[in-house]
Amino acid sequence: MSAAHKQDWLAAARTAMEIEAASVVQAACRLDGELIRAVELILAHPGKVVVTGIGKSGHVGRKIVATLCSTGTAAVFLHPAEAVHGDLGIYTPGDPTILLSKDGTSAELLALVPLLHEFHSPLIGILGNRAAPLASRLDVLLDASVEREADPNNLAPTASTAAAMAIGDALAIVLMRARNFTAEEFGRYHPGGQIGRNLRLRVSQVMCAREETAVVASAATLREVIVAMTKRPWGAACVVSPSGELEGLITDGDLRRALTTHDDIRGLCAEDVMTKSPVSIRPDATLAEALEKMEHRASQISVLPVVDETGRVLGLLRLHDIYLGVR
């Protein structure tokens, strides 16, 4: 394939993403009191939210359900065709329903409306057509209309699904804030995976303990530092005072810099090459807090000394421990 064709592909990809991004921005600009009404309806009900849609809208609905559940709002997905074959049994009186549709003309959704009224379900629509038959039957209408889809034929649901999903995310985030949903609660709902690990586990649970860590005095020779770090190869040595307080940190990088900047290293000691007053972490901090200290800085670091409230060294935490939990 020619280079020109490949450039055309890249241009088409960028155009598609730009159309979708513009659609989301336009949808954000249209948000108004209807969103607040939707939030208030959901907050007023102690039960769950039911989300429904068919086709691509159904796929978007399933993702919105997942986001709501993970951020403190109980939600379930209802397939509109299966609803009339027994699945309406998921309802308890007053459960709000979020209906998703690009055109607002889906026969399956229109057939559901009178049935949902029997369950006293407030109806919240995320629709791509404000003038659709479904729009007039809703209690709340959130406008997900788009100027065009991202594909060249203006047919495939792309920009419209992006806008609908973004509105669903916005609704979930507002509910999350209204409920004062905390990071700790988020971790409780995400016990698996890296996110859950970072929010659930404490530094003390995964760190290298002091007895496993290279610990040297500030007067230790560079040779003694290298020997200590070779015996306990976790990437760094903590430099401590006679009473055990952290004075500095020596990493593998510090050793390499010392070797390249000094012709004769025999007179060097730990104090000469260490980073003084290094960034440290408390043992009761979460892994997420430790990761923030390591990565969200001008120059990233891969090891953190772990200290108690008096500054005494308790061990060492490595980036490797956060992501893998194995040594």
Helix (H) or strand (E) holding 270: helix 270-273
Q: Of 234, 251, 259, 229, whose CA–CA distance to 300 is shortest? A: 251
Query: Strand pairing partners for 269?
Result: 221
In tens, the pLDDT along 34-81 reads: 999 999 999 999 999 999 999 999 999 999 999 999 999 999 999 999
pLDDT of 324 reads: 65
In whole angstroms, what is the distance from residue 322 CA to residue 274 CA?
24
CB atoms inside a 10 Å sphere around CB 247: 19
Spatial distance between the Cα atoms of 214 and 232, rounded to a whole number of angstroms:
6
Q: Which fold has domain 3-181?
A: Rossmann fold (3.40.50)
Strands 214-217 vs 140-143: parallel, antiparallel or unpaired? unpaired
At 104 the pLDDT is 93
Evaluate whether 3-181 and 203-324 have a shared fold.
Answer: no
> How far apart are the C-alpha atoms of 9 and 15, rounded to whole Å?
10
Rounded Cα–Cα distance for residues 23 and 186 (Å): 29
Spatial distance between the Cα atoms of 202 and 207, rounded to a whole number of angstroms? 9
What tens digit of pLDDT does each residue of 6-47 get?
899 999 999 999 999 999 999 999 999 999 999 999 999 999
Angstrom distance (rounded) from CA 177 to CA 156: 34
Spatial distance between the Cα atoms of 269 and 267, rounded to a whole number of angstroms: 7
- Cα–Cα distance, 45 to 232 (Å, whole number): 57
Could you read off the pLDDT of 167-201 as tens digits, one per residue?
999 999 999 999 999 888 887 777 777 777 888 88
- pTM attached to this predicted model: 0.77
CATH of domain 203-324: 3.10.580.10
Domain map (residue ranges) of the chain = 3-181, 203-324
pLDDT value for 6: 87
Q: Are 317 and 246 in contact (CB under 8 A)?
A: no
